[in-house]
Amino acid sequence: MLTRKILVAFYLLIICAPVAAKLLHVREHRLEGSFAPAPRPPLTLASVRNEEFQIKTTAWFEATLGLRSWAMWIDNSILYHLFHETKWGSHVAIGESRMLFERDDINYFNKSGDALPTPMAVDQLAGEIARLQVRLRRENRALVPIFLPSKTTFYPGNVPSMWTRSLGEPRPAQVHVYQAMKTALDRHKVSYVDGIDLLVSSPMQRKVLWGRDARHFSPVAGCLCMDAVMRVYAELTGNPPVDYPCVARAVVAPRAHSELDLFRLLNAWLVGRERMVYEVQRTPPPKPAAPPNAMWISTSFGWLLEIDAVQSNLFGEIHVDYYNMSLFQDGKEGSVEVKPHTPDWKRIFLTRDLYVLELHESYLTPGAFFGGDAVRAILEDLGP
C-alpha cells in the first residue's frame, strides 16, 4: 500500500510540476532553434464561436508550459547518448563519427523517381542562364553560375546508414541534378564554376573546408569559390584577373560561432564539439578606382561568398537576393521584399556588373527553382 501511495504521489508530482513551474515563473533552459511563443489570444465571443480562441489558447499554453525546455534537453540527451539519434522531425541528423547533417541534405542524398527534375526542365533552365550570360556579356557584365555541394556530397561516407536508401552509385540525384545540369550548361556553352568538384577534390584537409558541427562550409571554402568566380568573371568581361589569396588559419571557436550551428540545435548535454574552426587570413588591397557592383542570387550559402567578397575590398555595392524573396545590401540593416519589374527592383537588379547565381545541389530543382525565377525576370526587363 505504501509503495502504491508513493507511486501515486510521484505521478501527481510529474503531472503538476509543469503547471506549477509555469505559475511560479521558473526560469527555462536556453533552447536553440525555437520560436518565441505566440501571445495569449484575447477572449472574444466571435473567436470562441469559430473555435479560434480554443485552438490558439491550447497552442499558447503548450508553448509556455513550465519546464518544457528542460524536458526537451533531457529527452534529446537520452536520444543522443543512448541511441545516437535525434528526435523525429529534427533538422539535425547524426552521422558516422558524430558528423552532423541538415535534413535537407539527407533528403537530397535520397532523392529518386518523381522527385528528380525532368531533362526538359533542366535544359530550359540552362538555356535561360545561357541567354542571360550572353546578354550581359555584350555590356561587359557577367552572370557566373556556381555549383555548391551538399554536406552529404562532401562527406558521403559519414551519412548515417539508417537514413540511407539503397539507390546505387552514383546516386540518382547526382546524375539527374548535378551532372545533368552540368551537361546542359556545357551544351549551351555557359561558363560556370563547378564548386562541387573544386571543394571535393581540394588538397586541403576536409575539416578546414567544412566543420563536423556546421550547416555551411567554412569561410576558407567560400574564399576558394570566390577565387574561382573572379576568374570566370575576368574571362567573361575581358578584365584582368585579380589576385585572390585564400590562406587558412585556425581560430578558437566560442559556443556561439556560426560553424557550430548544428551542434547547438542538438539541445543536449555532454555533447562534444569542435574547439577550432578555420577562417581566411588576408590583408585586403586598396579598393579599385571603379569596383564592380555585385549581386548574389542564393540560399544562405551565398552569405559565405558575399562576406568573403566584402572582406576582399574589391567590390562596390554588394547585394544578396535571398531565395529571390528578400534583398539585403551590405552595410544596411534589414531587407526589402523582392518585387520584380518595379522601379526599385529595376534600379538594382538590372544594373549589376557581376551576378553570382548559386546552384546548390540540394535546392536546385529546375522547374521550381528560385534562381530560375530571378533569371527570367531579369531577362524579361533587359530585353534581347
pLDDT in single tens digits along all 384 residues of the chain: 667 666 655 556 555 555 555 555 656 667 776 556 667 778 787 777 788 777 777 776 666 665 667 778 888 899 999 989 998 888 899 999 999 999 999 999 999 998 899 999 999 999 999 999 999 999 999 999 999 999 999 999 999 888 888 888 899 999 999 999 999 999 999 999 999 999 999 999 999 999 999 999 999 999 999 999 999 999 999 999 888 999 999 999 999 999 999 999 999 999 999 999 999 998 888 888 889 999 999 999 999 999 999 999 999 999 999 999 999 998 788 899 999 999 999 999 999 999 999 999 999 988 789 999 999 999 999 987
pLDDT at 20: 53
pLDDT at 2: 61
Domain edges within the chain: 102-382
C-alpha cell, 54: 480554443
**pTM score, whole prediction:** 0.88
pLDDT at 154: 97
